[in-house]
Amino acid sequence: MTLHLAVSIDQPGAYEAAPYAESALLAERGLLDFVTLGDSFGRPGADALAVLARVAPGTARIGLVPTVTTTHTEPFHVQAALATLDWVSHGRAGWAIDVSESEAEARLFGRRHAAPAGELWREAGEVADVARRLWDSWEDDAEIRDVATGRFIDRDKLHYVDFEGSAFSVRGPSIVPRPPQGHPVTVVDATAPHARDTAARYADVALVRVAGLPGAEAARAELRAAAAGFGRDPDALKVLADLTVDLGDGEAVVDLAELIASWHASGAVDGFHLRPAEPRRDLERLVNGTVALLQHRGLFRTFYPGSTLREHLDLARPANRYAALAGDRHE
Amino acid sequence: MSERTHASKKRRLHLAAHFPGVNNTTVWADPRSRSQIDFASFEHLARTAERGLFDFFFLAEGLRLREHKGRIHDLDVVGRPESLTVLTALAAVTERLGLAGTVNATFNEPYELARRLSSLDHLSAGRAAWNVVTSSDAFTGENFRRGGYLDRADRYTRAAEFVRTARELWDSWTPQGEPRPFAHQGQHFDIEGEFTLPRSPQGHPVVIQAGDSPEGREFAASAADVVFTRHGTLEAGRDFYADVKGRLAKYGREPDDLKIMPGVTFVLGDTAADAQERAAEIRRQQVSPQNAILALEQVWGVDLSSYDPDGPLPDIDPDPESTLVQGRVKITNALEIAAKWRALSRAKGLSIRQTVIETTTRQSFVGTPEAVAAELEEFVATGAADGFILVPHLTPGGLDDFVDRVVPLLQERGVYRTEYRGTTLRSHLGLREPIWKG
Ligand SMILES: Cc1cc2nc3c(=O)[nH]c(=O)nc-3n(C[C@H](O)[C@H](O)[C@H](O)COP(=O)(O)O)c2cc1C
């Protein structure tokens, strides 16, 4: 089982691009699967998706996963921005779905009051669903540039999604052609019980914050069973243990490598999402220390065999739901 | 008098680059035409614009694919990435170039958009601009929670309050970098809280307005830093320029506080005849036989697919109530336009396609680099524009020749910068940094 490693590059109080660009490059030197950048409408700092778009051209392989909340946004804008992040990064985009539960955030928009978490996560699932429909609303080969007939696109390969959710509806198609990965990778922090169903149904990667190995094992088993219950192949859902790491003490680098190796060997998790306690120091020690040790033991990759985030994660490029239907029609 | 002092008396012109994506000027059938989606195309055009010392790079927006006869329009370039995300990525591969994105004020909310724009401004070290558009049809609304329709008066009151609110948010931190709570209560928005970003490196992102109604002009005069206009001829340009600049005083603003920049195309040639020939060829590529029929149907409002594009115009009258076209400005005086087109076609013996080519040609600067440079200077010297938003025909190489051949001539004439003085878009445009109104 391939070991997957990701790291958060959150840096409280940084408003400029440089510290994020440096961290992402460092994580890429460590051949990590992806970096995450947390966000909410109340979080000090720049919009996370924008930060990672700014980081994209200066990096080549590392996956870029901003948190994008779904409670106060327009699903149509969200899917277009994520598809665009995938285009500008040549297939390295993901999104960590989150919801906005607080009345303080609701007051920033003045459109609706705070709602219970269960309701918000159900809506987040609908946003994930409509986003995928919109990413599929252009078939991959819709652009034909046929000079003879004067047609730029084959309009039969563009599709209305006609989505009716509980709080919104979208007609489609998207304005952005299908992104390089087909669907940018969906990440859900499945630690909170309310997020579990949405994670099991829609996540490619689920994060779980757990105290120890048995907790990780149990969470992974539960998520995989739930995914299978939704008709999914459980192997298409990677479960990463979410750990905050403090590498201040020299020994900690080795301890962390050992913990990663033993949890992974036991099959408890597919990998780890690590949050450095001290952003710059710990990321540097993680890459140059822990990752180097894991590579030395043959447990972690020494080069990126692929170029997209899906390839790093061993996730297939999703088939286009509308192309399959159209295929049947054309036969 | 030295060259230098002489040159400094001339009015400097501003240049910006419009990415040739989804519009009917883009010639996609040309073998040199590349992707309108791949980042490499955006990077090429932006780097070229920066090499040419342009003020900014501009992206348009459309939030629903256009339709014709109830089906997705398939003859022009279709599909584009989302503006602000592309621009933020471009901030990584350019250093000075302003980055302007069109974002609709009807289908967005002030807190979120103010945060995204301020993010672009911080991440580009002061180069962000927002082109505020207000297109509001219910057709576009079908993609959004807000949905629905706002009439013209309402969309401009919403847009004006939107910009005012965004500026309140951008000013909510003290100049010392301390966050302070904001509260805005108005006709369209009732919001409060704390903004998450300090004042950005150029104070506020630059605000651009595009829209031509009296309401649009008034909004520009009251709130915009730049106007993007379609009035590209000398006469129409002067009228528009005088009208909009004349509206500034009542808002306590000086004529130089608002730059007027028409969107124009250009065609260069080694001789005047060569340029004319190229321009004619480009028009033929833009108005394919299929596009000619489509343009005719947009006026007539009925199915004309059985007509021959190389034959005469139809005898039947337009349907003034037609809803054939969705997602672009509706043609309101179809009968009048049809009468004009018929008269022209009869007088000159033009086919359908020739008539469409002749009647839909927009202002274009066609000629040798010397002639084009002289004409651009004349527009600015005689009060028809402060500069231009150039719309090339080709993605992404359409600006290469202009930067290589026309920019040096403008510099020799002393009407164009030879280096960037400042680092922010405001400094390129010669706009003052807004006073903090915390
Ligand atoms: C030069 C120019 C460029 C425009 N570009 C866009 C655009 O990219 N996206 C858009 O939605 N509307 C665009 N518009 C439409 C206007 O912003 C405006 O919403 C529309 O013209 C209706 O307003 P009006 O009645 O004041 O003209 C453009 C208008 C002009 C004049």
> Distance from the CA of B171 to the center of ligand 1, in angstroms?
28
Q: Which of the pair, B318 or A13, is modelled with greater confidence?
A: B318
| Rg value, chain B, Cα | 22
Sequence-distant (6+) residues with CB within 8 A of A165 are A75, A123, A126, A127, A130
With residues binned 3-state (H G I as helix, E B as strand, rest as coil), the percentages for chain B, rounded to 5, are 40, 15, 45
Give me B419's structure tokens: 């280096």
Distance from CA of A29 to the nearest CA of B (A): 19
Report pLDDT for B8: 54
- For A16, the closest of B65, B122, B189 (CB atoms) is B122
With b meaning 16 or more CB within 10 Å and e meaning fewer, what string describes A257-277?
A: bebbbebbeeebbbbbbbbbe
pLDDT tens across the length of chain B (438 residues): 344 445 457 899 999 999 998 988 899 999 999 999 999 999 999 999 999 999 999 999 999 999 998 899 999 999 999 999 999 999 999 999 999 999 999 999 999 999 999 999 999 999 999 999 998 788 999 999 877 778 878 889 999 999 999 999 999 999 899 999 999 999 999 999 999 999 999 999 999 999 889 999 999 999 999 999 999 899 999 999 999 999 999 999 999 999 999 999 999 999 999 999 999 999 999 999 999 999 999 899 999 999 999 999 998 989 878 877 777 666 778 889 999 999 999 999 999 999 999 998 877 999 999 999 999 999 999 999 999 999 999 999 999 999 999 999 999 999 999 999 999 999 999 999 898 887
CB contact under 8 A, B85 and A81: yes
Residues 75-104 of A with CB under 8 A from B: 75-77, 80-81, 83-85, 87-88, 90, 104
Distance from CA of A85 to the nearest CA of B (A): 7
Bridge partners for A240 per DSSP: A207, A271
Report pLDDT for B1: 36
Round to whole Å and give the CA distance between A238 and B406: 56
CB contact under 8 A, A17 and B92: yes
Interface test with chain A among B33, B82, B95, by most A beta carbons within 10 Å = B82
pLDDT above 80 (res A80): yes
**Do the Cβ atoms of B257 and B225 come closer than 8 Å?**
yes
State whether the beta carbon of B212 lies less than 6 angstroms from ligand 1: yes
Predicted-complex ipTM score: 0.97
Mean pLDDT over residues A175-188, rounded? 98
Q: What is the DSSP string of A94-128?
A: EEEEE----HHHHHHHTSS----HHHHHHHHHHHH
Distance from CA of A278 to the nearest CA of B (A): 22
**Do the Cβ atoms of B101 and B130 come closer than 8 Å?**
yes
**What distance, in Å, lies between the first and last C-alpha atoms of chain B?**
47
| Rg value, chain A, Cα | 20
Using the Cβ of B327 and the Cβ atoms of chain A, whether some distance falls under 8 Å is answered with no
Give me A210's structure tokens: 């757990």
Report pLDDT for B153: 80
**Do the Cβ atoms of A158 and A173 come closer than 8 Å?**
yes
Round to whole Å and give the CA distance between A7 and A261: 17
**Do the Cβ atoms of B390 and B16 come closer than 8 Å?**
yes
Mean pLDDT over residues A234-254, rounded? 96
Bridge partners for B131 per DSSP: B102, B208
Helix (H, G, I), strand (E, B) or coil at A146: strand
Burial of B6 (0-12, 13-18, 19+ CB in 10 A): exposed
Sequence-distant (6+) residues with CB within 8 A of A186 are A94, A95, A97, A128, A202, A203, A204, A205
Round to whole Å and give the CA distance between B419 and B59: 24
> Distance from the CA of B279 to the center of ligand 1, in angstroms?
26
Nearest CA to ligand 1 atom 4: B210
Using the Cβ of B93 and the Cβ atoms of chain A, whether some distance falls under 8 Å is answered with yes
- The kind and range of the H/E element at A66 are strand A63-69
Q: Which residue of chain A has the CA closest to B197?
A: A45
Report pLDDT for A331: 40
Q: What is the DSSP string of A236-305?
A: GSEEEEEEEE---SHHHHHHHHHHHHHHHHTTS-SEEEEEESSHHHHHHHIIIIIIHHHHHTT-S-SS-S
Residue B60 alpha carbon, nearest atom of ligand 1: 8
Pocket test for ligand 1, best of B24, B59, B133 (most atoms within 8 A of CB): B133
* Residues, chain B: 438
The letter for the amino acid at A315 is L
Distance from CA of B318 to the nearest CA of A (A): 25
